[in-house]
Structure 1
């Protein structure tokens, strides 16, 4: 900056004057209590408020967490998106929202490794803190895993979207549901059948939600890997982050040898989940992003083994 420009710089008003220019005013008189015990507590009002509420809490709470994986990398730091809730009776006006995040911060300070055992403990403590009979915690996060090319063995990182939901009630105990959404390749059987050569394929999105048995032990089995394998092993081909030409040839030929309709995918995945002894109930959905249509193709199935 030359000397002429320095001499012609604006002389701005002070920061306080600038704030007033844009609408800030001096503080008014303070007449209400500033001590917590003296403040009004509307949320804890007791009266007949007409209806019991199934769930009251907070959602879309993003927080760093640690997760364990049976696939590399075995310990990961990722971002969890939380939902916390409990029921309240009609005699209570509201819940204590701050207690949800207070407990989250306490677990974070101890190193929040998210697993089923920890979430069970978290949920029961949350119900006690809220002075309610029940509480529910749900956390969703991206799970990363190493995937190697089938021919070159070159590694890269894939990811799937995982969700864990733990509900607790003083009378009935715990209910644990886990979900995973992963991506696969599918090749159209109809296209292969009617064409002289080639066949169109698409990227499939497989979502699996399962309720786990009470005796499920995550030390014996990583549920994320089990659900991922159920989806990928029944696909036309797996998705790879790194593919050299020999890899691409192998994957393309594998897809051609294993054509799958979207209906085929959900039925085959359902069969694998049915055979898992620690799965009580499951939901499977597949959404194919069609390569020669503007629409997606979908299929869904729900099955409860406890009703057999």
Structure 2
């Protein structure tokens, strides 16, 4: 009987030499959705679906990178992904891809259970969150981004009106580069606590009265709001650099009010 035919090894085209002598800063996969478990402070873990961007640096002498290894990396991480474990994941990626630098961004909805201020009824609030990890020359940097809905009430409207004041829903975006563990919930609470009032998934009539009056008693311009958030971040030694954005979706104008503060505490 003839021995079974052994197929010839397939050529690794990606690792072949490229003659154009041009390096690529980022190459990889973008917008890959993958089920993940995310560590949270209250309940331990949340099951969600995240969108991933994963890139590495490609030297000028390589023709391509091995795209399948990015997906293999995600499939190997069945444990809960957290701010604390994201560095390990990024370092595994550059190791598998034999790269000197790499970038991972993970975007996902994050949920917190909130309790209404008077009735005590509980409801879930969702937040858009991103974890970003980057390795350059062996140094890892980590960035957390949260987008938080809140209420703001106009001080000018309150001052000049005989009764009432206009308010609006606001989006607060905090993008923080951290040097130590910072829970997602902590950044979310900074934005909510510095608003004129928080927003909730469910409010009963007594709760609605409470939040309306709380906002009225705590008016803030967009400038006040963003400065109060920035002051909180300035006082947190775990945060090296941040960008805060506040957008008020005006209720009496057909435009938004907007403010941005960017600060690197290491160069201050």
Same fold by TM-score greater than 0.5: yes
Q: SS of the residue aligned with 2:84?
A: helix
Name the Cα RMSD after superposition: 1.7
Q: Distance in 2 between matches of 1:122 and 1:70?
A: 20
Change (3 A) 1:233 1:117: closer
Unaligned segments of structure 2, at least 5 residues: 1-6
Q: Return the match for 2:169 from 198, 203, 211.
A: 203
Change (3 A) 1:147 1:47: same
TM norm structure 1: 0.81
- Residues 165-217 of structure 1 deviation map (CA, whole Å, 9 limit, x = unaligned): 11124x3421111111110000111111111110111000000011111xx1x
- Residues 77-124 of structure 1 deviation map (CA, whole Å, 9 limit, x = unaligned): 0111111111112212221111100111122xxx23111332211211
Q: Distance in 1 between matches of 2:222 and 2:160?
A: 18
Change (3 A) 1:36 1:202: farther
The answer (yes or no) to whether the contact 1:83–1:139 under 8 Å persists in 2 is yes
Q: Return the match for 1:103 from 73, 93, 115.
A: 73
Residue 70, structure 1, aligned to residue 41, structure 2: yes
- Please give the residue correspondences for 1:40-59 in structure 2 after superposition, counting only pairs within 5 Å: 41-59=12-30
- Please give the residue correspondences for 1:242-261 in structure 2 after superposition, counting only pairs within 5 Å: 242-261=202-221
Q: SS of the residue aligned with 1:99?
A: helix
Q: Distance in 2 between matches of 1:74 and 1:288?
A: 33
The answer (yes or no) to whether the contact 1:210–1:282 under 8 Å persists in 2 is yes
- Please give the residue correspondences for 1:3-42 in structure 2 after superposition, counting only pairs within 5 Å: 37-39=9-11, 41-42=12-13
Q: Return the match for 2:107 from 118, 122, 140.
A: 140
Deviation at 1:49, TM superposition (A): 2.2
Deviation at 1:37, TM superposition (A): 2.5
TM norm structure 2: 0.93
Q: Return the match for 1:151 from 103, 118, 121.
A: 118
Deviation at 1:36, TM superposition (A): 7.8
2:245 is aligned to 285
Unaligned segments of structure 1, at least 5 residues: 1-34
| Higher normalized helix content (fraction of residues) | 1
Moved over 4 A (4+): none
Deviation at 1:62, TM superposition (A): 0.7
Residue 190, structure 1, aligned to residue 156, structure 2: yes
Q: Distance in 1 between matches of 2:245 and 2:145?
A: 11
Q: Distance in 2 between matches of 1:228 and 1:295?
A: 25
Residue 131, structure 1, aligned to residue 98, structure 2: yes
The answer (yes or no) to whether the contact 1:69–1:75 under 8 Å persists in 2 is yes
- Residues 211-232 of structure 1 deviation map (CA, whole Å, 9 limit, x = unaligned): 111xx1x3xxx52122112111
1:168 is aligned to 135
Residue 236, structure 1, aligned to residue 236, structure 2: no
The answer (yes or no) to whether the contact 2:100–2:138 under 8 Å persists in 1 is no
The answer (yes or no) to whether the contact 1:180–1:227 under 8 Å persists in 2 is yes
1:273 is aligned to 233
Q: Distance in 2 between matches of 1:167 and 1:228?
A: 23
